[in-house]
Amino acid sequence: MERDARAFWIPSPGKGEIREVVLPEPGPGEVVVRTLYSGVSRGTEAIVFRGGVPPNQHAIMRAPFQDGTFPGPVKYGYLNVGVVEEGPAGLRGRTVFCLYPHQTRYVVPAGAVAVVPDGVPPERAVLAGTVETAVNALWDAAPLVGDRVAVVGAGMVGCSVAGVLAGFPGSRVQLVDTDPSRAAVAEAFGVEFAPPDRAAGDCDLVVHASATEAGLARSLELLAPEGEVIELSWYGDRRVGVPLGEFFHSRRLTIRGSQVGAVPPARRAHRSFADRLALALALLANPAFDTLITGESPFAELPRVMPALASGELPALCHRIVH
């Protein structure tokens, strides 16, 4: 079996390169995976690429199979779909998802991979990590039947949240963004779309994922009394202002953080990380999630593509890398 591989590294902020890797021999209970596709999670990976992870977050923000340290050299990423070439009989030949960086082949414990359901194309399964974040956020938010919900920020995470919420019984779900092209994603999921200045207010719940100060301020404005903002944005080393004057106290509003690194307390006793990922993969049977894949490039071009993604020169939700 081939033991050579290639991996994408960030040697220093703003630079990318492909390095040769020699794989270790798999031990008992390990698998060798040949990557089919990986995905660039543009928001987080752009912050990592430009060296924007604050020093006090270096340990917290480590990806499960990251090599190196922030700001670099570092091998980072967590959206990977491949085929098991070696490992336990029940996994050999299966298509799996793994929270692994951009690398053509790799060796991990068998428990670190999740089998992609037959009804989910491998090309779409690269979204599993982001949809898992959306599932976790909604476990935190615990929306109720008939709730009026806005998702502010139609990036990769925000669109995933809207997709999971689509069809929630009796609810009004609106995706809010400054980019009018995101209306096509909302339409695919069957939810409403509005620019920020025309978004419907009186919301019971707002999920904020724009990673902008203006988006957070607008999220608070959209809430009904006693309403709650679930904050999903990660700002890296940027400081943001929060308007805690105006209606924040009189309406008794709440801002609560949600992060995929922990299962919410209400689910923690009976739902594992594996359960959460399996649910995310099952939800990807919905072909509307294909609208979140906005571009594709060969792996060899990733050192050129990543700077364009990080700067915004190449607009994207999820950019898929073909191995």
For residue 2, pLDDT beyond 70: no
Q: How far is CA 78 from CA 99, 123, 128, in A?
A: 4, 15, 10
Mind listing the pLDDT tens digit for each residue in 189-199?
A: 999 999 999 99
Strand duo 172-176 + 148-152: pairing:
parallel
* Percentage of the chain exceeding pLDDT 70: 99
Q: What contacts 244, CB < 8 A, 6 or more positions away?
A: none
For residue 11, pLDDT beyond 70: yes
Q: What is the pTM of this model?
A: 0.93
Residue 100: predicted pLDDT: 98
* Percentage of the chain exceeding pLDDT 90: 89
Mind listing the pLDDT tens digit for each residue in 224-244?
A: 999 999 999 988 778 889 999
Look at residues 149, 161, 104 and name the one whose alpha carbon lies nearest to residue 280.
Answer: 161
Strand duo 30-41 + 105-109: pairing:
antiparallel
Q: What is the mean pLDDT of residues 293-308?
A: 97
Domains observed in the chain: 4-127+284-322 (3.90.180.10), 130-262 (3.40.50.720)
Mind listing the pLDDT tens digit for each residue in 70-114?
A: 999 999 999 999 999 999 999 999 999 999 999 999 999 999 999
> Which residue type sits at 80?
N
Q: How far is CA 175 from CA 149, 183, 215, in A?
A: 9, 8, 12
Split at pLDDT 50, 70, 90, the class of 50 is very high
Strand duo 293-298 + 254-257: pairing:
unpaired
Q: How far is CA 67 from CA 64, 71, 103, 234, 299, in A?
A: 9, 12, 12, 22, 18
For residue 62, pLDDT beyond 80: yes
Distance CA 125, CA 112 (A): 15
Q: What is the mean pLDDT of residues 125-149?
A: 97
Look at residues 78, 69, 126, 129 and name the one whose alpha carbon lies nearest to residue 102.
Answer: 78
